[in-house]
Amino acid sequence: GENVEQHPSTLSVQEGDSAVIKCTYSDSASNYFPWYKQELGKRPQLIIDIRSNVGEKKDQRIAVTLNKTAKHFSLHITETQPEDSAVYFCAATGGNQFYFGTGTSLTVIP
C-alpha cells in the first residue's frame, strides 16, 4: 500500500517568515494530495489540495507544489501569522483510501 512520510514533525518560525512542510509518497498511482490544518481541539480542515496533473497551486499565503517524478509534495506558507500555529497533515490517495502523514506541529512566534 501507499506510505506517506512527513517532515519535519515540529517547526518553529518567527512571525512573517515562511514555513515549508514536505511529504513523500510511495505509490505512483496516487493522484490527489490534500493538506489539512488542525487547530487544538478542532477537526482537521482542508486548506489546499493538488491533483497529479498540476505542479503548483496557490491560495493567498499558502501554496502546494508537487513533483510526481520524485514523488514528493510540499506546503508553503508565506508571511506566517500566529493564527497559522496548528498541526498540519498531508495526505495522498489514488482514489480509494486516504493515507496521511504523521503531522507537523507549526508554531509561529510573535
Partner 1 sequence: KAGVTQTPRYLIKTRGQQVTLSCSPISGHRSVSWYQQTPGQGLQFLFEYFSETQRNKGNFPGRFSGRQFSNSRSEMNVSTLELGDSALYLCASSFARGNEQFFGPGTRLTVL
Closer residue to partner 1, CB minimum distance, 51 or 61: 51
Closer residue to partner 1, CB minimum distance, 91 or 108: 91
Residue 109 to residues 15, 87, 95: CA-CA distances in angstroms?
6, 15, 38
Q: Which of 47, 75, 89, 108 binds partner 1 (CB under 8 A)?
A: 89
Distance CA 102, CA 83 (A): 21
Check residue 99 for interaction with partner 1 (CB under 8 A).
Answer: yes
- x/- mask, partner 1, residues 27-46, rule CB under 8 A, reads ----xx-x-x-----xxxxx
- x/- mask, partner 1, residues 49-68, rule CB under 8 A, reads x-------------------
Closer residue to partner 1, CB minimum distance, 43 or 53: 43
Q: Is residue 93 classed as helix, strand or coil in its secondary structure?
A: strand
Run of H or E residues at 51 = strand 45-51
Q: How many CA atoms lie within 13 A of 40 on its CB side?
A: 5
